Amino acid sequence: MGEASYKNPEILKKIKNYCSYQERCKKEVIEKLLALNLDQSKFDNVINYLIKNNYINEERFALAFTQGKFRIKKWGKIKIILELKKRRIDSDLINKAIDQITDLDYTGTFDKLSLKQYKSLTGSKDSKKRKFINFLSYRGWEYDLIIKKVNDFF
């Protein structure tokens, strides 16, 4: 399917812009196509066109998503993996994306984040512990790392 032969160039232009704005996974593109009221019988043609022309690349998406959520949002591996699975990313690509985070970066980020959180806590000792554990657990950090920090700080 060439761009010129596509029956609704306006939708194709919108979806190409959508994919160009930031990395998208196939699931997000399908949701966008649904929102644009594209006939589901045309989904495969549009998706195949976008993949063939490198507008959708699941590996590139997984790598960018992982880096962004880790570096900017300070998410742990558990939450990143869960969110990638929600987006139906293949487990091999998830593993490849997670493997790009070095142990040194991971522990360094965790140490900085946990110290910042610890310093911001108020309330009783039990309340602080609970808030500390909840904060880091919600962001997808491993329980054994959290408990080690609890033992260090409290």
**What CATH class does 9-56 carry?**
mainly alpha
Residue 140 in tokens: 């997808």
Residue 72 in tokens: 């900017």
Residue 95 in tokens: 């593993």
Please give the Cα distance from 141 to 80 (Å, whole number).
10
| DSSP reduced 3-state for 87 | coil
**Who contacts 11 (Cβ-Cβ below 8 Å, separation ≥6)?**
33, 36, 38, 46
pLDDT tens per residue, range 30-86: 999 989 888 878 888 889 999 999 999 999 999 999 999 999 999 999 999 999 999
**27 CB neighbour count, 10 Å cutoff:** 14
pLDDT tens per residue, range 88-136: 999 999 999 999 999 999 999 999 999 999 999 988 999 999 999 999 9
Please give the Cα distance from 104 to 83 (Å, whole number).
23
Please give the Cα distance from 111 to 152 (Å, whole number).
11
How much is the pTM?
0.85
The per-residue pLDDT for 6 is 52
pLDDT of residue 2 exceeding 60, the answer is: no
Residues 88, 24 contacting (CB under 8 angstroms): no
Q: Which burial class, exposed, middle or buried, applies to 125 when counting CB atoms under 10 A from its CB (0-12, 13-18, 19+)?
A: exposed
